[in-house]
């Protein structure tokens, strides 16, 4: 439910004019909450200057805060995204969008929490000899991404597929002139939801990520069960399960109404992904809120 995380081409494609999407993920090792990621995004759409045009411009922004070991290190990302949406039919069901985004990243390090016995001292003096301090105070870096997205969205179903290239660069934390972090990542993904047995729905998601450290595959499905049978009031609860190949099984539960989506998930990791007996787990909470004018009477989907 953080569409900008998948592609900059997604800004402005919600069912309503504007939306706010947020995620909070806590990763634990042996019950200790050592890693936390917070994501907050906003996007909206604008009509083209020519009122006769069916096409429109979407813009959005996203803030990501990645916190390691209770604040010892924190990486903050600010992304600005823009997408131009082109309708391919007169019914306004088929949409092609081209997106571009830029990201500013900054990492902060709390050196006062990095004292390991006599191995490191941020005060930089040991027996009258200056420390070989090599950490930058506020390292920062710009990067960019681009994507293309095709959506077929009518009053009965939702199908979406896209691809993204992330020109990704983490800040270099040291004064070294060699930064091995920059890389280009590529992502392909598909979202689909359609009704069956009239009132129930089936939502499918899959994505593939190519990065320097290796490929990642993630896929799964969720069953949408109606809480009301009034066609003018959407209320569903979803029970799903996803799988990240060789890493984790992710059971999920979500709730959707006309303007809100709430989701929870828990990752059950493969015990063989580490060489030790560490017990890994993750909990994620997501919230999406839409507001403003509704596009048309289209199918309300968990992917909005």
Average confidence (pLDDT) over 170-181: 68
pLDDT for res 138: 74
Q: Which residues, in sequence order, are bridge partners of residue 98?
A: 84, 148
pLDDT for res 118: 52
The owner of tokens 């402005």 is 12
Q: Which two structure tokens, joined as six digits, stand for 29?
A: 């090792």
| Across 18-27, 106-115, 214-223, least confident range | 106-115
| pLDDT per residue as tens digits for the range 270-288 | 776 655 556 778 899 999 9
Residue among 166, 157, 6, 14 at smallest CA distance from 85: 14
pLDDT for res 18: 93
pLDDT for res 60: 95
| pLDDT per residue as tens digits for the range 243-252 | 999 888 999 9
Average confidence (pLDDT) over 2-24: 91
Whether 186 and 167 have beta carbons less than 8 Å apart is answered as: no
The pTM for the full model equals 0.84
pLDDT for res 78: 94
The owner of tokens 């709430």 is 262
Q: CA 204: distance to chain centroid? A: 17
Tell me how far apart the alpha carbons of residues 55 and 84 are, in angstroms, rounded to a whole number: 8
In this predicted structure, the answer to whether residue 220 has a pLDDT above a threshold of 70 is yes
Q: Kindly report the backbone phi and psi dihedral angles of residue 55, in degrees, each rounded to the nearest multiple of 5, phi listed first.
A: -80, 160
Reported confidence tier of residue 157, pLDDT bands at 50, 70, 90 = very high
pLDDT for res 288: 95
The dihedral sign for the CA sequence 34, 277, 244, 252: negative
Share of the chain above pLDDT 90, in %: 49
| Across 42-56, 186-200, 237-251, 257-271, least confident range | 42-56
The CATH class of the 3-294 domain is mainly beta
- The number of helices, as runs of H, and strands, as runs of E, in the chain is 1, 16
Q: Is 112 helix (H, G, I), strand (E, B) or coil?
A: helix
Tell me how far apart the alpha carbons of residues 19 and 154 are, in angstroms, rounded to a whole number: 20
């Amino acid at each position: 439910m953080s569409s900008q995380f998948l592609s900059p081409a997604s800004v402005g494609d919600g069912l309503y004019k504007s939306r706010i999407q947020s995620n909070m993920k806590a990763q634990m090792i042996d019950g200790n909450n050592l890693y936390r990621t917070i994501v907050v995004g906003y996007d909206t759409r604008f009509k083209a200057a020519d009122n006769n045009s069916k096409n429109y411009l979407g813009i959005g922004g996203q803030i990501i805060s990645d916190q390691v070991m209770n604040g010892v290190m924190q990486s903050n990302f600010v992304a600005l995204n823009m997408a131009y949406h082109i309708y391919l039919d007169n019914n306004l069901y088929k949409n092609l969008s081209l997106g571009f985004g830029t990201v500013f990243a900054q990492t902060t390090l709390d050196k006062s929490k990095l004292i390991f016995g006599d191995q490191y001292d941020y005060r930089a003096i040991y027996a009258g000899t200056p420390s070989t301090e090599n950490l930058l105070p506020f390292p920062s870096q710009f990067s960019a991404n681009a994507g293309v997205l095709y959506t077929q969205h009518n009053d009965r179903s939702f199908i979406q597929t896209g691809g993204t290239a992330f020109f990704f660069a983490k800040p270099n934390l040291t004064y070294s002139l060699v930064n091995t972090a920059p890389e280009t990542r590529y992502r392909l993904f598909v979202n689909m939801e359609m009704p069956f047995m009239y009132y129930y729905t089936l939502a499918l998601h899959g994505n593939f990520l190519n990065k320097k450290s290796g490929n990642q595959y993630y896929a799964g499905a969720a069953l949408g069960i109606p809480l009301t049978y009034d066609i003018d009031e959407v209320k569903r609860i979803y029970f799903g399960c996803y799988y990240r190949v060789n890493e984790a099984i992710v059971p999920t539960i979500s709730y959707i109404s006309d303007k809100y989506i709430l989701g929870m998930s828990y990752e059950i990791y493969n015990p063989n992904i580490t060489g030790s007996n560490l017990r890994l787990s993750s909990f994620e909470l997501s919230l999406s809120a839409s507001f403003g004018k509704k596009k048309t009477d289209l199918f309300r989907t968990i992917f909005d």
